[in-house]
Copies of this chain bind each other. A is one copy, B any other.
Amino acid sequence: MDIVRDPLWNNIRLDPLALALVDTGAMQRLRYVRQLGLAHLVYPGATHTRFEHALGTHHLARLTLAILNERGDLRSLSVEEPAVIQAAALLHDIGHYPFAHALEEIGAPHHEDVGQTLITTGDVARLLSERVAPDAPQRVAALVRGQSDSPLQGLISGSLDLDKIEYLKRDALMCGVPYGQIDVDRLLNSLTVVRAEAKSERAVVGITEKGLSALESLLFAKYQMYRNVYWHHAVRSATAMYKRAVGEALGTGALDVRRLPRFTDEQLLQHLTEVAPSDLVTRLRERRLYKRAFECPAAELPQDAGEWIASDRARTAAAERVLAGELGLRADELLLDYPEKTQMLDLDLPVQLRSGEVTRLTSEGLPGVIHLPELSAQLYRSARWLRIFTARPVVFTKQRVIELLFA
């Protein structure tokens, strides 16, 4: 057992397999991919990387497996399942692009698909198949993609996965905001393996009733982090600038999408400077971000308006051209931004009541627990904003924006 020190968890234990996986080139690259992309331009402390996050998620997996084991929840699983789960926790972000999630929003393959290749071929695959089981690479990759039928799938990807607990706490710590206070110990101790449905044979990870209050703490933390950090206007501006710069380079062929997962953050910026120089990249380097020309919370927009902005790149580009034209700006001087709704407060989880009965925590809520769907709807209305960023200071009226976008 080796021990790695960590600002969040203090001491992280790594067994020989974890150490060997960490030493692969694919994992070492994560040392140079920041966890929060360009957020460090707004929260200077946010220089932490996918590497530390991967170690932390592995750490939580090890703790959780020990708890489940003590409770007898692992008895029906194969003997190598814990090693598979721990490997999946460590490797879950191995396919990440430079600057985090941003590029997936412009149509690059999802990082978990990229990860599939990195896990099932090369050094990682060799280590997993030699030291765990011949089919371990495939099992790990399935877990990372959320497509495993392991009862423990929920630990790696799901409503209450360990990834989420880790990044909320780490991001809050590194950004210096007091919003990551999750009752982790209580939460992990409340995880349990239960039947997926009342009469189902399928076993899945659920939570005991005693953990519901800790689960609320997770939801509050998540909401606060979205509102204050992930969806902070300047973070969104920098990210929109980056997406546009990369999108243009991909569009002209200057940049090859297949090379993307090999770059570190700094290497990609350097590469862009060389193959597709643009004002956007220069501005990011010098931290001269586009400013808000307009912003408006979801609560003030027409019901369900604008959901296409995050998903339909062509329609969004057309809208951006219209908006820019209206103000006499060049196309690359205006960016339209509306965060994807689906990232924030999903929750679909079996709950084991004190009586032993299992129910699901979804649309209808449970008495004695916050009515989560209502809460979630409330929170979106306040945290999610439509914004227009521009290179030069201009101002839109709300009426005009709504006419141009949603008429």
Contact = CB atoms under 8 A, between A and B. Distances in A.
A267 interface: yes
Interface in A6-29: 6-11, 23, 25, 28
Interface of A: 3-11, 23, 25, 28, 31-32, 40-41, 43-45, 47-49, 51-52, 55, 173-183, 185-186, 189, 213, 216-217, 220, 224, 227-228, 264, 266-267, 270, 285-287, 297, 299-300, 367-371, 374-375, 378-379, 381-382, 385
A189 B3 contact: yes
A188 B36 CA distance: 28
B178 A182 contact: yes
A367 B6 contact: no
When all copies of this chain in the complex are counted, the total is 4
A181 to B, nearest CB: 4
A5 B175 contact: yes
Closest 5 pairs between A and B when the two form their complex, measured CB to CB = A181-B181, A5-B176, A266-B266, A297-B368, A7-B45
A91 B264 CA distance: 29
Identify the interface centre among A4, A47, A375, A385: most chain B CB within 10 Å of its CB. Answer: A47
Contacts of A185: 10-11
A299 B367 contact: yes
Contacts of A286: 25, 28
Nearest to A224: B217
A44 B170 CA distance: 13
25 contacts: A4-B43, A4-B44, A5-B45, A7-B174, A10-B178, A10-B185, A11-B176, A11-B186, A25-B286, A31-B40, A31-B44, A44-B49, A45-B48, A47-B49, A47-B52, A178-B183, A179-B181, A179-B217, A180-B181, A216-B224, A220-B224, A266-B266, A297-B367, A367-B381, A375-B375
Nearest to A182: B178
Contact of A173 (B7, B23, B224, B227): B7
A155 to B, nearest CB: 20
Contact of A266 (B7, B44, B267, B300): B267
A169 to B, nearest CB: 10
Given A44-B55, A217-B179, A266-B264, A287 B368 contact: no
Contacts of A5: 43, 45, 175-177
B287 A28 contact: yes
A194 to B, nearest CB: 19
A180 B173 CA distance: 16
A51 B198 CA distance: 44
A15 to B, nearest CB: 12
Contacts of A51: 44
A10 B186 CA distance: 10
Nearest to A370: B382
Contacts of A179: 181, 183, 217
A298 to B, nearest CB: 9
Contacts of A11: 176, 185-186, 189
